[in-house]
Structure 1
Amino acid sequence: MPKTRRKFTQCPNCGYTFKDTNNYCPNCGQENHDLNVPVKHLVAEFFEGTMHFDTKAWHTLKYLITKPGLLTEKFNTGQRASYVPPFRLYVFVSLIFFFVLALTTESSVKVAGQEQGEAKAILPGVTINANVADSLEQAADSAALTRLKQLQNTEQLKALSSGLQEDAFMTEFSEKFASFSSHGEESKQKLIKNLSFMMFLLMPFFALVLYLYYRKQDRNYVEHLMFSIHLHTFYFILLSVAMLLGKLFPALNLEAIVLAILVLYLYLALHQVYKQTYLRTLVSLLPIGFVYLLTLAVFFLGTVFVSVLLT
């Protein structure tokens, strides 16, 4: 739908005399469009652009959700004008996902108690003792003194030096972990921010995995990257819906269903884009899925580790 323009005859910014075909000033770049009109015209123009965008977005989401891999195939064959660009779609959906994540999860790093020996909840399913930093520090000092008394030669000195460095690192990390756990909401937001960056790095890495696995098909890396972007965009949509349903209906156990949908979607998308038989696609799914899950686990643990160290 072309934009309805109210054109000037002369550029109000630099004075350039427009031609009938000029939508922008060739001299200064300002848009040739008069905004000095009644509010009702601006409102009508806004809805005109919004409805056009919504139509494109609707077609994009429809194919993304109901036709695994078809949107990627259309993009790779040059059918792009009718759909939202992959990067823009991913950014928009990921912003919604991390917003929903922040709303639906309780503070993932918080103190459960302050009394001596009382446990603290750090991450779901993980607890530490309230005075763990002090205990570790005392244990490290005690161990170091004991070994110091037993020294008899240079080799033991070197071994002790290495051990003390390890003890110092563990003590420092424990202190940072305790500090990370004591700043509940702040730590949660930091972790979510780092997770968004992690997922942004994961997409091109997964595309590289696909590029290496399907190298005999002689496809460009960008084609695999578009597949990875669309795949993770769908994953974000599915997980956002699952988190909202879990928040509204706490009794629902959606983990198995979500996992099944994730695997099925990847399988169908691989079949659609890479044009292998269903059996061959199933065989390909096993190593690709294993490498993906392993990479995701490593990236996640690395993100938590870095988040703690940067505390």
Structure 2
Amino acid sequence: MSANHLRKDKTCLNCGREVPERFCTHCGQENVEPHETFAHLVGHFFQDITHYDSKAWITIRDLLFKPGLLTKLYLAGKRQSFVNPIRMYVFTSFVFFLVLAYVGPHHDPYEVHAPGDDIDTQAYTSSIDSIDARARRADEQPGLNASVTLLSDTAFTHILRTTVGEPERAVRQYDSVQATIPAAEQSRGTERFFARSFLYMHGKYGSNVGRALLDKLQHNVPKMMFVFLPLFALLLQMLYRRKGLVYADHAIFTIHFHTFLFLLGIVSFLLDHWLHTEWFSSIAFLLSGIYFVIALKRVYAQSTRKSLLKAAIVFITYSLSILLIIVGYVISILAFV
């Protein structure tokens, strides 16, 4: 911008403070004339775009190819040359889940599949047939009845077959069957809860019940990240508590690492989709582990052996925690059907 657009009045139009030079030291607004020419607006637009693009590309480049460098620079106070970690994470995660929706199966996950609708359903029906056969063999050998699981029950599978599209009737039939057997053999507590919930979901979606649950889970993963990220940072804080870093420092590492995972996922999922393979996702999984170890070593300045050990501890603990959270979420879905 040329100097002739600067206001002679040194009072900031935004906050009313005195502006010593070009920018207000209090709010940062440039002290220029409010009525600008069109050419000036166009110039301002391109200046902002090219400035942001250069920061974005530098940030992406360093995230992908220099493990831990951005975190180390950020903690050292060198932040102006890179996109803010949270802003970069939000944008990258948005693109990642957009790509995930693009490469995923394009079908209605809530469509009710009755037996014989498609190949998947026929396979599902065959699996129920095998359960029936196992249950009948158990009936012929009374000594084995105690070992027959809930799904190895001919009455249960009969309800599965005959109540697709009628979830309420499925639950009523289950309750009726339970009422006809001795009290000591009736399902109780957790077993009863899962049986009724599964029958309701199966009655509602048929053999598509798995896809429906997966779709519900996938739509809520972005929200779950607000639990996963703080948990990951907490694990780092526990492992590196002697490094003199505060929780927010570990959170920055966490955000940078997960942004890298999203970037890697975007590239690998698209390549797998376009080239009809799964190799790129497998390679990306291995690369993410190597990247994590290198990033830990660079940021926390420990030996390769210690970094490997702590990376394994974080990976195992984090994976188990995610699994427990997902199981809890699925249970909550079943509890409110």
Give TM-score scaled by structure 2 length: 0.71
Aligned runs of 1:56-71 on 2, under 5 Å?
Answer: 56-71=55-70
CA-to-aligned-CA distance 1:22-66 (integer Å, 9 cap, x gap)? 85699x999754453333321211110111112222222221111
State the partner residue of 1:167. 192
Contact 2:272 2:281 in 1 (8 A): no
**In 2, distance between residues paired with 1:116 and 1:241?**
38
What's the secondary structure of 1:93's corresponding residue?
helix
**Are the aligned partners of 1:64 and 1:234 in contact in 2 as well (CA < 8 Å)?**
yes
- In the alignment, the residues of structure 2 paired with residue 273 and residue 295 of structure 1 have an alpha-carbon distance, to the nearest angstrom, of 24
One of 245, 249, 262 as aligned partner of 1:219: 245
CA distance in 1: counterparts of 2:25 and 2:240, whole angstroms: 47
Cα gap change, 1:141/1:235 in structure 2, threshold over 3 Å: closer, same or farther?
same
Query: Is the aligned partner of 1:141 residue 2:166?
Result: no
> 1:287 matched to which residue of 2?
313
**Structure 1 position 298, deviation (Å):** 2.4
Match of 1:299 among 325, 328, 331: 325
Q: Which residue of 1 aligns with 2:144?
A: none
1:267 equivalent to 2:293? Answer yes
- Evaluate the alpha carbon distance shift between residue 180 and residue 273 of structure 1 in structure 2; reply closer, same or farther with a 3 A threshold: farther
Equivalent residues of 1:113, 1:119 under 8 A apart: no
Choose 180-189 or 197-206, whichever is displaced more: 180-189
**Counterpart selection for 2:227 from 182, 193, 201:** 201
Which residues of 2 match residues 168-183 of structure 1 at below 5 A? Answer: 170-172=195-197, 174-176=199-201, 179=204
Measured in 2, the distance between the counterparts of 1:170 and 1:3 equals: 75
Indicate the percent of aligned positions where both proteins have the same amino acid: 29
User: How far is 1:18 from its partner?
Assistant: 6.9
Q: CA offset at residue 140 of structure 1?
A: 3.6
* Structure 2 residue aligned with 1:77: 76
Rate the CA distance shift 1:164–1:210 in 2: closer, same or farther, 3 A.
Answer: closer
> 1 CA distance for matches of 2:117 and 2:262?
37
Q: Which amino acid aligns with 1:284?
A: K
Distance 1:203 1:114, change over 3 A: closer
In the alignment, what sits opposite 1:258?
A: 284
Q: Deviations over 1:287-308 (max 9, x none)?
A: 2221122223223333444456
- The whole-number CA distance in structure 1 between the counterparts of 2:191 and 2:198 is 10
2:19·2:31 contact (CA, 8 Å) conserved in 1? Answer: no
Give the distance between the partners of 1:38 and 1:30, measured in 2 at CA.
Answer: 18
Answer yes or no: is the 8 Å Cα contact 1:97–1:240 preserved in 2: yes
CA contact (8 A) 2:268 2:284 kept: yes
1:93, distance to aligned residue in structure 2 (A):
0.8
Aligned-partner Cα distance in 1 for 2:195–2:48: 57
1:308 & 1:196 partners in 2: Cα distance? 20
Letter in 1 for 2:317: V
Matched, 1:231 2:257: yes
Q: Which residue of 2 aligns with 1:105?
A: 104
Q: 1:12, 1:79 → 2: CA distance?
A: 28
Q: Structure 1 residues 281 and 23 mapped into 2: Cα distance closer, same or farther (>3 Å)?
A: closer
Which residue identity is paired with 2:196?
Answer: T
Between stretches 50-59 and 292-301, larger displacement belongs to 292-301
> Which segments of 5 or more consecutive residues in structure 2 lack a partner in the other structure?
129-159
Give the root-mean-square deviation of aligned CA atoms: 4.3
| More displaced stretch, 37-46 vs 177-186 | 177-186
TM-score by length of 1: 0.76
1-side partners of 2:231 and 2:53: how far apart? Answer: 31
Partner of residue 45, structure 2: 46
What's the CA shift string for 1:61-82, capped at 9, x where partnerless?
2211111011111111221222
1:192 and 1:2 map into 2 onto residues whose CA distance is: 51
Q: Which amino acid aligns with 2:180?
A: L
